[in-house]
Amino acid sequence: MSESSENEQKAADLERLRNTIPLNSLSDSNLVSLIEGSKIENLGKGKVIFKEGSSDTLSIYLLEGAVELVSKATGAKRSITANTDEASYALAQLRPRQYTGKTISKARVAKIDSLQIDRYLTMDHLSDDWAISDDPDGGLEVDEMFFEVDGEWMMEMLRGSVFEKLPAASMNEIFARLESVPVKAGEVIIKQGEAGDFYYIIKSGKFNISRKMSDGKVQVLATMKDGDIFGEEALLSNAPRNANVISMSEGELMRLNKTDFDDLLKEPLVASLPMQNAETEIKAGAILIDVRTIGEFKSGAIKIAKNIPLNELRRTLPKLDHDKKYLLCCLTSGRSQVAAFIMNQRGFDAHYLEGGLQSLPSWPAPGKS
């Protein structure tokens, strides 16, 4: 395939995926990043894409051609053709899968990690949520931290490795508590032997890590740049700083104090609940909230669930009963963790369901598969 043809194919794939659910809720930049990290395949007729009973973490979208879904367990059979309403949704997305999917013509499919979809949706939804939220007294308020933390930098950090291992629920509060610190060239940020007090993220500038050796000589260990982090070792171990950090240029640091570090990175922020315990809790009066997008919810959901998309949650909280217990769900549990955090910090009793809807057992039957 020529370069121009390849670019045309990529553009066509992007346009088709932009109209799928819930990818249609993503910003263009996050959609492109998501697709770049995914696999798009051309398949011949008769190719099995996935098998009934499998529990993979892929969301598979039909871009071209047609697919037949067949269930040995129920005898159900149906076909899906690209560019139809049914093809707007991922194929047979409940786990374990309720169907075997097989191409009935030449086809093109996109295989996207469901966890990554939830992660990128969380980025966009939190960005929306931070920008403007409802004032309980009736007016709109713009969150102060929206101005304090540069939005573009924030999104880059969310995409990068610094927060890759953190629960999605921690992201909102971390950015809310980060403090901006301008620095000058030659400024000592951390001094060897002192007690740990802050965790740092480099927003801009260059910094040297050095250590005074037993013979009195100072050894430069490393140079750090934009996006690097430091200071966590002393906070985690409660030991004195084991090195110096000196700014080599003008720059800016974002820092989190020790108390916030302990609260957000050492202690769990949200409570979880095993999926198999959900029925008992709901019978006892707990309310089930599905925080996926409206389109996802319409494609298949637990019938008794109430749909409150993550980016609408804050403005809905004044309408919810503080005396109730809430169970939160989404496809993978990424967004529901964030929702649980948002609710718990507002005084609600909220738990996210472990594993998400993709690990849903037979109870209760979803509206669709």
Is the per-residue pLDDT at 101 higher than 90? yes
204 membership: H or E segment, kind and range = strand 198-204
pLDDT higher at 165 or 114: 114
| pLDDT score, position 22 | 93
CB contact at 8 A, 228 and 160? no
Tokens 């979803």 sit on residue: 366
Counting residues of the chain whose pLDDT is more than 70, the rounded percentage is 81
Is the peptide bond preceding residue 136 cis, with omega within 30 degrees of 0?
Answer: no
Positive or negative torsion for Cα 23, 27, 33, 35: positive
How large is the average pLDDT for residues 29-36? Answer: 86
Is the per-residue pLDDT at 247 higher than 60? yes
How large is the average pLDDT for residues 354-368? Answer: 64
How large is the average pLDDT for residues 284-292? Answer: 95
Rounded to the nearest integer, the mean pLDDT of the chain is 82
Is the per-residue pLDDT at 160 higher than 90? no
Tokens 């006892």 sit on residue: 284
Counting residues of the chain whose pLDDT is more than 90, the rounded percentage is 43
Instruction: Return the bridge partners of 328, or none.
Output: 289, 352
How large is the average pLDDT for residues 216-245? Answer: 79
| pLDDT score, position 237 | 56
342: confidence class by pLDDT, cuts 50, 70, 90: confident
CB contact at 8 A, 130 and 141? no
Nearest to 65 by CA among 84, 92, 90, 37: 84
How large is the average pLDDT for residues 314-326? Answer: 91
Query: Hey, what are 121's tokens?
Result: 């949706």
How large is the average pLDDT for residues 290-299? Answer: 92
Is the per-residue pLDDT at 366 higher than 60? no
Could you give the count of Cα atoms lying within 13 Å of 354 in the half-sphere of its Cβ? Answer: 7
How large is the average pLDDT for residues 265-285? Answer: 80
Nearest to 325 by CA among 309, 300, 344: 344
Is the per-residue pLDDT at 133 higher than 70? no
Contacts of 222 (CB under 8 A, 6+ apart): 208, 209
| pLDDT score, position 176 | 81
Phi/psi at 250 (nearest 5 deg)?
-65, 150
| pLDDT score, position 144 | 40
Nearest to 176 by CA among 348, 309, 341: 341
Least confident segment among 100-104, 325-329, 338-342: 338-342
Tokens 């007016």 sit on residue: 139
Is the per-residue pLDDT at 142 higher than 50? no
Is the peptide bond preceding residue 96 cis, with omega within 30 degrees of 0?
Answer: yes
Is the per-residue pLDDT at 365 higher than 50? no
Is the per-residue pLDDT at 244 higher than 80? yes
| pLDDT score, position 362 | 52
| pLDDT score, position 325 | 94
- For the chain, give every domain's residue range: 3-113, 138-166+168-266, 271-359
CB contact at 8 A, 124 and 158? no
Q: What is the pLDDT of residues 202-225, one digit of tens each?
A: 999 999 988 887 778 888 888 989
CATH architecture of 138-166+168-266: Sandwich (2.60)
332: confidence class by pLDDT, cuts 50, 70, 90: confident
| pLDDT score, position 238 | 67
Which CATH homologous superfamily contains domain 271-359? Rhodanese-like domain (3.40.250.10)
Is the per-residue pLDDT at 280 higher than 70? yes
| pLDDT score, position 329 | 93
29: confidence class by pLDDT, cuts 50, 70, 90: confident
| pLDDT score, position 162 | 53
| pLDDT score, position 145 | 40
- Do 271-359 and 3-113 have the same topology in CATH? no
CATH 2.60.120.10 describes domain 3-113: yes
| pLDDT score, position 164 | 53
Is the per-residue pLDDT at 24 higher than 80? yes
